[in-house]
A and B are shown apart, each in its own frame.
Chain A
Amino acid sequence: MTATEESPHLTDEGAQEMAPRIVAGGTEVLREVGSVLRMSEAEAGEDAPDDAETTIINMGPQHPSTHGVLRLMLELDGETVLRTKPVIGYLHTGMEKTGESLTYLQGGTNVTRMDYASPIFNELAFCLSAEQLLGLELPPRATWIRMLMSELNRLTSHFLFLATNGMDLGSTSMMIYGWREREEGLRILEMITGLRMNHNFIRVGGTAADLPDGWQQRLTEYLDSIPERLEEYEVLMTNQPIWRERLQGVGSITTEEALALGATGPILRSTGYAWDLRRDMPYLAYDQVDFDVIVGTYGDCFDRYAIRLNEVRESVKILRQVIEMMPAGDYRTQDKKVTPPPRARIDESMEALIHHFKIFTEGFKVPEGDAYAAVESPRGELGVYLVSDGSAKPYRMHVRGPSFVNLQVLPHLMHGGLIADAVAIISSVDPIMGEVDR
């Protein structure tokens, strides 16, 4: 639309053609970094010029390896991908708008459905943001339970990645193995929250419940089983020449490009840039546990795979420390404003009954203002921006979904690669479409 007429790479399609990096000037490269297919979809499909020798093909939204309903428009020169445009919105259900008509207590059930592979992080970011507005202090046990849940969820999310990454690249046994480990993790989540997914376990002011009896033993057994299985993965995939061939050097990105495009999480870390909110801007009690931030070197698909695999090891390390250091005490704040009275009090006190009823029907009022809180989700920085007008419902709730932003890196990763690698690249970005479209 704004492409200048004097652009040196003017084609029949306009100035949107991507030029080789050597030819293109600085600003041109910058444009290509944020590459968009600057033409309408109708134009792209029908009026592609004959002499251009490029093909525009459509991938998805119903494609098994697009991880949901992602649609990609690909411009190909032979087998080489020139431009890519992700087309999203197929899963858009207006969750941010819905969030405006739900109380802060109900809000958790809404946000937890966004990134459905790591629901705990959504709830956590939402609650941290609301707690910032309320100025709540949490009891230590609540903080540590939240940390335990986060890391457990990171495990299941990364195992999901390992499973689907294997599946996308044709290693179906890896899919089964990844799923096996993920199921184990989900069973523990189920034991604690009652649900395998969409837990709504983290609430404003703490958590929904205390940890059940015997959680240490169950979790320890799970953690004990993981290192051995990761060794199996190393044999099955990391050390295997075919696997390395498929991933090494595919979909590379540099630190500058990742930063310019707003990429966070494993994509940014794969370029060698050590940025992890858990270590660098600690929330919860991450400053009290010992773990390493895993970084890559080349910013390719293999680095992103290896980072996630090793982050599983780090999460196991954190979880072991959490089991040891879990403090006793309340699992939610005793602030009467947000926490309903205990069940036993309701039977003996009329006021407690009214209070309980009010909290669950009207909700609690949150002071005016705005707040942004972010956590390191398995995919990157997941932030929730809340604007409150002093009522019991958020005036505006915005979720900064890491997948939404990371997906915009796709055109850049794909550029110059082979169409056969497209699936590997999509997989390595690990987008969760529920979070992209919200």
Chain B
Amino acid sequence: MSETTAATDEPVAPDAAPEPELLHGAPVVRVRGQRVVHASRDELVGLVRTLRDEGWLQCLDVIGVDQLANPHRDLPEGIAPERFELVVLLISHSARERLRICVQVPESDPVVPTLFEVHPGTEAMEREAFDLFGIRFDGHPDLTRILMPEDWEGHPLRKDYGIGRIPVQFKDAPDA
């Protein structure tokens, strides 16, 4: 079917420009059958709280992504790409559906309000994102390193953090 529509001379692809879908004011994109919501940092906590009350009971993960070397991204209109992206995975057991919330986080001010008050289980996930990406979570009860040693310098999953060239850091090793 799609080939026949492509063969006609219609200038606009019919499936590419539907009405922009909104979820509580945030634009929604459908990616391979899953809904992806693009929210701003300020909207995030309110959105997740509203969704929780609507039956999105579990927050499965909070994932950091460093988009430094990935300039080609499909973002809905009005969402400016930033260096970091925070992906929050929600699941609704009653609707049997998943939802991703993408939040753009600028490099100059990598702070996102914490989801701890809404989903206490995000505590460890946010610590992981902080540890590996340096995204800070405002209001987090215990924002410390979780996987790397406490005195580690840098955030290893950032794209500008070289691999294979970093001397192994030992705790309490003598200087000379």
- Using a CB–CB distance below 8 Å, which chain A residues touch chain B? 1-3, 27, 30-31, 33-34, 36-38, 41, 88-89, 92, 94, 96-97, 101, 132-133, 135, 259-264, 275, 280-281, 368-372, 374, 381, 383, 385, 387, 389-390, 395-396, 398, 400, 404-405, 407-408, 437-438
Interface size on B, residues (CB 8 A): 47
Kindly state the separation between the CA atoms of A96 and B139 in the bound complex, as whole angstroms. 27
Instruction: Decide if B123 is an interface residue (CB 8 Å cutoff).
Output: yes
| B 51-63 to A, binary, CB cutoff 8 A, 1 in contact else 0 | 0000001111101
Kindly state the separation between the CA atoms of A77 and B58 in the bound complex, as whole angstroms. 33
Instruction: Decide if B66 is an interface residue (CB 8 Å cutoff).
Output: yes
19 A-B contacts (beta carbon < 8 Å): A1-B143, A30-B117, A31-B120, A31-B141, A34-B116, A34-B123, A34-B141, A38-B141, A94-B156, A101-B163, A259-B58, A261-B121, A370-B87, A372-B34, A383-B60, A389-B70, A400-B89, A405-B60, A407-B124
Q: Tell me if B59 and A262 are in contact (CB < 8 A).
A: yes
Residues of B within 8 A of A1 (CB): 140-143
Please report which residues of chain B, range 73-118, place their CB below 8 angstroms from some CB of chain A when the two chains form the complex.
73-74, 87, 89, 93, 96, 98, 100, 116-117
Pick from A263, A280, A374, A438: contact of B121, CB below 8 A: A263
- Smallest distance from the beta carbon of B163 to chain A beta carbons, Å? 6
Q: Tell me if B157 and A97 are in contact (CB < 8 A).
A: yes
- Smallest distance from the beta carbon of A200 to chain B beta carbons, Å? 22
Q: A92-B147, A263-B121 are in contact. Are A97 and B163 (CB under 8 A)?
A: yes
Pick from B66, B87, B121: contact of A408, CB below 8 A: B121
Residue of B at shortest CB range from A34? Answer: B120
Instruction: Decide if B47 is an interface residue (CB 8 Å cutoff).
Output: no
Kindly state the separation between the CA atoms of A437 and B163 in the bound complex, as whole angstroms. 18
Q: Tell me if B141 and A89 are in contact (CB < 8 A).
A: no
Kindly state the separation between the CA atoms of A374 and B89 in the bound complex, as whole angstroms. 11
Residues of A within 8 A of B116 (CB): 34
Q: Tell me if A2 and B120 are in contact (CB < 8 A).
A: no
Q: Tell me if B123 and A408 are in contact (CB < 8 A).
A: yes
Residues of B within 8 A of A407 (CB): 124
Instruction: Decide if B125 is an interface residue (CB 8 Å cutoff).
Output: yes
Kindly state the separation between the CA atoms of A274 and B101 in the bound complex, as whole angstroms. 26
Kindly state the separation between the CA atoms of A374 and B60 in the bound complex, as whole angstroms. 11
Kindly state the separation between the CA atoms of A1 and B149 in the bound complex, as whole angstroms. 20
Q: A369-B31, A385-B61 are in contact. Are A262 and B121 (CB under 8 A)?
A: yes
The 8 closest A-B pairs by CB, nearest first: A34-B120, A262-B121, A261-B121, A89-B147, A92-B147, A36-B142, A400-B61, A389-B70
Q: A101-B163, A390-B72, A408-B121 are in contact. Are A437 and B65 (CB under 8 A)?
A: no
Instruction: Decide if B17 is an interface residue (CB 8 Å cutoff).
Output: no
Q: Tell me if B31 and A370 are in contact (CB < 8 A).
A: yes
Pick from B32, B59, B119, B156: contact of A97, CB below 8 A: B156
Instruction: Decide if B173 is an interface residue (CB 8 Å cutoff).
Output: no
Residue of B at shortest CB range from A388? Answer: B70
Q: A280-B93, A370-B31, A408-B123 are in contact. Are A89 and B146 (CB under 8 A)?
A: yes
Pick from A41, A135, A385: contact of B87, CB below 8 A: A385
| B 15-53 to A, binary, CB cutoff 8 A, 1 in contact else 0 | 000000000000000011010000000000000000000
- Smallest distance from the beta carbon of B164 to chain A beta carbons, Å? 9
Kindly state the separation between the CA atoms of A104 and B114 in the bound complex, as whole angstroms. 33
